[in-house]
Amino acid sequence: MEVSPVQLLIFQPTPFCNLNCTYCYLPDRQDKRVMDVDIVRTTVQRLKDEQLVEPEVSIIWHAGEPTVVRRERYAEYFSAIKEVLGDDHEIVHHFQTNGTLIDDKWCHFIKEHNIAVGVSIDGPDYIHDRSRKSWGGRGTLDKTLRGIAALHRHSVEFHTISVIGEPSLDYAKEIYEFLVSLKPCLLAFNVEEQEGIHETSSLTNRSDRVERFFQELYEVAREHAFDPPVREFENACGSIATGGGSEFNTQIFPYRILTVSVDGLFATFSPELLGMTSKAYGSLEIGNIKTDSLRAALRSPKYEQLFSAIYSGVKRCEKTCEYFEVCGGGAPANKLFETGSFDVAETRFCEQSVKIPVRIVLKDLETTLAGRGKAFPGFRPGEKVRRLGPWDF
Ligand code: SF4
């Protein structure tokens, strides 16, 4: 198979996180190791030498909390990347952060390096503090709001990502209005997933309520003329407008996403696979950047095993699912963590995070086409879009 350049490079600069959110899927959040600069340098050198890098490169620093790593270390990472790639590449760095450590110094750094920022925040205190806790068990909303206030003081634009769990389901309007009052540039909602060490989701068997939540969210977002945009409805609109099946699915082709761990292990397909093992496939990384060529890793038995199971799962989707054209075969990580296999089609995740938003937008479009409403402002037929994942915006 022809391998196209990496669209999204994700570095996990440390497994450590200063918070202990109840739904987190990451296993080693008290491990304080920090990525060596050589791992970053070797990764981009391999990408360049193996012609797997685009003129524009998006790099996400994520999992655990990126701001527990010192700014000086990031300055070293960034200059190593610049040294290797030179001025021919436009590099955009992204931080997905819990916001609790963001202060004036971080804001200066973020502005200096033009870092795109996403803040994880679930809603008002009676939602956020139930799940997003410190290691001592206390709620963390006040600290996250302090971080957001610092971002505003320095005019740093940010988006929000909110996890929707069972406690959120009756509060769509309250969550929306709370988040909008923080003036983010975009809202994103991740349904609570059964993933990694988080082996059950509070949304299991609750798809009806999830649908009501998203419907209410849609209504209130429409009252605000979808300003700020809501990622789930933008994604749904883009997918309906373009179709395209698996072509836009970043998680089912090699190296559309490349994820590198603190010690140089690398994985492709869904970022959540890195560092995990499964009964069916063993460990899910396909090499170590210190010793393995990226292209050679695609000829390894491990890669072959993963790809053939993922491909077979996508083919099942294509045969059985009427949403295939707008979904493209789903997220391998969710298939694996929910069922133990990549070689399946429907999951709870795809019902709640793909089908429900698509149904809601389609219903609205049908009303519009019947002349009974106003078109969804995000609907742009024919425009080519990249479907956005739970880790980005
Ligand atoms: S919605 Fe689910 S079953 Fe349908 S194509 Fe996507 S992942 Fe497959």
Angle ∠(130,390,281) on CA atoms, nearest 5:
100
| Element housing 360 (H / E) | helix 356-369
Q: Is 262 in the pocket of ligand 1 (CB under 6 A)?
A: no
Q: What is the pLDDT of residue 204?
A: 83
Rounded CA-CA distance 115/134 in Å is 26
pLDDT in tens, 256-315: 999 999 999 999 999 999 989 999 999 999 999 999 999 999 999 999 999 999 999 999
Assess whether pLDDT exceeds 50 at residue 379: no
For 191, the 3-state DSSP assignment is strand
Assess whether pLDDT exceeds 70 at residue 384: no
Q: Is 327 in the pocket of ligand 1 (CB under 6 A)?
A: yes
Which residue has the least CA distance to atom 7 on ligand 1? 330
Place of tokens 């750094």: 109
Q: What is the pLDDT of residue 80?
A: 97
pLDDT in tens, 240-254: 888 767 888 999 999
Q: Is 252 in the pocket of ligand 1 (CB under 6 A)?
A: no
Domains of the chain by range and CATH? 1-393 (3.20.20.70)
Checking DSSP bridges between strand 287-288 and strand 257-260, what pairing results, if any? unpaired
pLDDT in tens, 196-221: 777 788 888 888 999 999 999 999 99
Q: What is the pLDDT of residue 14?
A: 96
Q: Is 323 in the pocket of ligand 1 (CB under 6 A)?
A: yes
Residue 152: φ, ψ to 5°: -65, -40
Ligand 1 centroid to Cα of residue 383, in Å, is: 22
What is the number of H-type helices and E-type strands within the chain?
Answer: 14, 11
Comparing 70 with 195, which gets the higher pLDDT? 70
Ligand 1 centroid to Cα of residue 214, in Å, is: 19
Average pLDDT, rounded, for the chain: 91
Angle ∠(33,117,227) on CA atoms, nearest 5:
150
Residue 378 in contact with residue 228, Cβ under 8 Å? no
Q: Taking residues 160-187, what's their average pLDDT? A: 97
**Pocket of ligand 1, candidates 232, 250, 323, 387: which has the most ligand atoms within 8 Å of its Cβ, to mutate?**
323
Rounded CA-CA distance 200/180 in Å is 30
Ligand 1 centroid to Cα of residue 351, in Å, is: 8
Which residue has the least CA distance to atom 3 on ligand 1? 346
CA dihedral (387, 275, 99, 38) positive or negative: negative
DSSP notation for 249-302? -TTSSTTSEEEE-TTSEEEESSGGGTT-EETTTEE---EETTT--HHHHTTSHH
The type of residue at 303 is: Y
Q: Is 329 in the pocket of ligand 1 (CB under 6 A)?
A: yes
Q: Looking at the CA of residue 322, tell me the nearest atom of ligand 1.
A: 4
Q: Looking at the CA of residue 320, tell me the nearest atom of ligand 1.
A: 3
Ligand 1 centroid to Cα of residue 190, in Å, is: 17
**Pocket of ligand 1, candidates 346, 349, 351, 387: which has the most ligand atoms within 8 Å of its Cβ, to mutate?**
346
Rounded CA-CA distance 331/314 in Å is 9
